[in-house]
Chains A and B, each alone.
Chain A
Amino acid sequence: MTTTLAGGRAARRQTMRRIRPRRSPAVPLLLALWAGAAGVLWLWWDNTPSIADRTGQILAAGRITGLLAGYLMALVVLQMARVPALERRVGSDRVARWHAMTGRYTLCLVLAHIFLIMWGYALQAGKGLGDIVQQTVDSVTQLPDMGKAAIGTGLLLLIGLVSIGGIRRRMPYDTWYHVHLMTYAAVFLTFWHQISTGNEFAVEPLAKTFWYGLYGSVTALVIWYRILTPIRLNLKHRMRVEAVIEETPGIVSVLIGGRKLHRMGAEAGQFFRWRFMAPGMRFSSHPYSLSAAPRPDMLRITVKAIGDHSTRLRELRPGTRVWAEGPYGALTASRRSRGKVLLVAGGVGITPMRALFETLPGAAGDLTLLYRANSTQDLALWNELAAIADERGARLMYAVNSPDGARPDISAESLQRKIPDIDRHDVFLCGPPGFAQSVYEALRGAGVPARRIHHESFEM
């Protein structure tokens, strides 16, 4: 059974929009990040008239790493504050990768900071590197706020440990996620020792004000965008499951009803984090892309049953309350720069492509969708895609394995053969990591510039 959500008025209106490419704010944001780091280093530089000896050098290195770690810690939290400018303009996937990268680096800085400072203190006390453990115990018990900082550091180490690739993959996603939430406690606990024992903050009231400002604004953003915004969104739109439809074996669509859903500002290609208020699903939220342009009374997600959560979606009853956070994601129409667009979907990666296929502005002949699946049976939503292609005058192609199981040929040559002017297209790409990587390379080989290949990947 299939339902067709194509041809809504809202979707048709979107196809008439002008193409207005928007630049991602990633570069200015990264510049701001570096400027902040330079400011933090200047704080140290300005406060340190001279370094007397090796002990002084070790302590100075410890202070620098500590200051940088304190600064980056605030940014690590900021990156996960679901700030719209980051989630929708830079892209959730890219920000998540920044977060992982910054997090790892910050943890290394924290460890270096502890080691250097304790070594320096031990030297100051006339002891050697061998007494560093005793010195650490003494400092934790004697210095203000160091007990809190020690607990916080322990939490950070635990969080870092469960985020190591091998350990994370063996853990249920929910457990990992809830351990990760303890970051907030860890950051709170480690904050105070920076203020009370930090040399730079004791001397420089301005630095203290700046530090409170940094952490205060990050806290405000987290409270606003992770707590208040979702509450307001869900109180206003009151979403419930309308129906669950099996599209192909293993792929289900969930239709979600609610009030004034078009007012949520979701665009085709974006996703929400969904939490279904059903037994066993209440405590975890999962990101699923919209598989149709949002309608005032209806949203649709299409999900492949791979994990625990997605398998349970099949058993959702109509009427189940839905808690959504979003919209997030930057794989939208505003990424494109030119008239012609090629959409490439692999498997269930069709969901955002299906929504974009319906709504991307473009004249007849401008749009092409290439859909890769294992077999024609697995081409979920095919009837809808065919209907959209008919209506919009778009090209629709599929590539499936041959009956003997051989993979279809998707290479630079075959792409150029099918689409001779491929190098003048913007390409939107969504699919499993291996598929996306090979298509990306084929596209580059066919002459598509990297900046015109728009791709979202949640692989770290």
Chain B
Amino acid sequence: MKKSHPVRRAVLATAATVSGIVLLLTLKPASDPGSASAAGGAAPPAAAAGQSPQGGAQAAGSGTVTGEVAQTQYGPVQVRLTVSNGKITQAEAVQAPSGGRSTQITADAVPQLNQATVTAGSAEIDAVSGATYTSTGYKQSLQSALDQVQAGGGGAADQGSGSAQARTVTGEVAQTQYGPVQVRVTVSGGKVTQAEAVQAPSGGRSSQITADAVPQLNQAAVAAGSADIDAVSGATYTSTGYQQSLQSALDQAGG
């Protein structure tokens, strides 16, 4: 029979709920120490740039090099090149601006830039009209990738047999609730230099999750050099399958 104050109660309930949730979110660590898995979202440049010299040296003869991240007004751009016998056989953007209008622009401009890169074989490519910022960032990252190719190029000659030591092994397929996961790793000198998923769940929501989680897992695998990597939050099944297939690949590489 105490007087009720519906408005006060509603305000209190909202404030308590919101602050409770915010508190929970802030108490959670932003990323796991010793793992690169979380870096995929917030700060990919550091981890990616850290790997690329390695990749560059190893892949000078034929392989892939990843350029440094170029920050643009609309988001980061990062270029990866596949080089074969000193020639660029493939170019792709591993990062490009996205969200709203940027997604459209990226979808339109990046393939053109990729094409131009392969044709030109250098960073002397024209900017795509209407995508100036993205083009500029692309060229910057491309130049840094090419620098790595050249830096590694000298070593590649006397490393003739060295590059043969780099082997690519593919792990067994791990079945998950949402589809198969299969991991391929490139191992050089006993170190994992590259990891990629050749199969991963796709379709509907799974495509989104895969697109989000797999790059993080790839990075984490390279950083850890073992299958002891953290699962990506929200992609538990994929992560588990990834770890299994990664372990089987590492077993093959080791044996």
Contacts and interface: CB of A to CB of B under 8 A. Distances in A.
Contact of A105 (B13, B233, B234): B13
Nearest to B2: A450
Interface stretch (B26-34, B47-55, B161-169, B185-193): B26-34
A127 B205 CA distance: 14
Interface string A100-142: 0100010011000000000001011111101100000011001
A53 B41 contact: yes
Contacts of B28: 45, 48, 50-51, 60
Contacts, number: 97
B42 interface: yes
B13 A64 contact: no
Contacts of B233: 48-52, 56, 60
A141 B99 CA distance: 22
A52 B177 contact: no
Given A131-B100, A455-B1, A49 B24 contact: no
A287 to B, nearest CB: 19
A39 B164 CA distance: 55
A49 B98 contact: no
B1 A52 contact: no
Contact of A52 (B3, B42, B98, B237): B42
Contacts of B205: 121, 139, 142-143, 197
B98 A436 contact: no
A128 B25 contact: no
A49 B231 contact: yes
A187 B36 CA distance: 41
B42 A199 contact: no
A116 B43 CA distance: 23
A51 B30 contact: yes
Nearest to A437: B1
A399 interface: no
A272 interface: no
B38 interface: yes
Interface in B79-114: 98-100, 103
Contacts of A143: 204-205
Nearest to A143: B205
A50 B99 contact: no
A203 B240 CA distance: 10
A202 interface: yes
A45 B24 contact: yes
B25 A61 contact: yes
B183 to A, nearest CB: 20
A57 B42 contact: no
Given A51-B28, A202-B177, A142 B204 contact: yes
B140 to A, nearest CB: 22
Contacts of A83: none
A41 B21 CA distance: 10
Looking at chain A's contact residues, the main secondary structure is helix
A429 to B, nearest CB: 8
Contacts of A50: 28-32, 38, 230, 233
A330 to B, nearest CB: 14
A428 interface: no
Given A57-B25, A60-B25, A143-B204, A49 B32 contact: yes
A440 B1 contact: yes
Interface in A146-202: 197, 199, 202
Given A124-B212, A199-B234, A64 B31 contact: no
Contacts of A53: 41-42
B25 A124 contact: no
Interface string B209-236: 1011000100000000000001101101
Contacts of B9: 101
Interface bracket on A: 35 or more
B119 interface: no
Contacts of A128: 99-100
A57 B100 CA distance: 20
A440 B211 CA distance: 64
A127 B25 contact: no
A52 B103 contact: no
A49 B99 CA distance: 27
A55 B41 CA distance: 9
A52 B38 contact: yes
B40 interface: yes
B76 to A, nearest CB: 13
A457 interface: yes
A101 B57 CA distance: 65
B208 interface: yes
Contacts of A139: 205
Contacts of B204: 138, 142-143
Nearest to A142: B204
Given A48-B28, A52-B31, A105-B13, A202 B100 contact: no
A154 B211 CA distance: 31
B236 A64 contact: no
A436 B3 CA distance: 12
Interface string B1-37: 1110000010001100100010011001111100000
B25 A49 contact: no
B149 to A, nearest CB: 29
B212 A51 contact: no
A220 B178 CA distance: 33
A65 interface: yes
9 closest A-B pairs (Cβ-Cβ)?
A: A126-B98, A52-B41, A142-B204, A53-B41, A52-B38, A440-B1, A53-B42, A128-B100, A50-B29
Interface of B: 1-3, 9, 13-14, 17, 21, 24-25, 28-32, 38-42, 98-100, 103, 177, 204-205, 208-209, 211-212, 216, 230-231, 233-234, 236-237
Given A51-B30, A121-B208, 13 more contacts: A51-B233, A59-B234, A109-B17, A124-B208, A125-B208, A126-B99, A131-B100, A138-B204, A142-B204, A197-B205, A429-B1, A450-B2, A455-B1
25 contacts: A41-B24, A45-B28, A48-B28, A50-B28, A50-B233, A52-B38, A53-B41, A53-B42, A56-B41, A56-B234, A60-B28, A60-B233, A61-B25, A101-B9, A108-B14, A121-B205, A124-B208, A124-B209, A124-B211, A127-B100, A127-B103, A128-B99, A131-B100, A450-B1, A457-B1
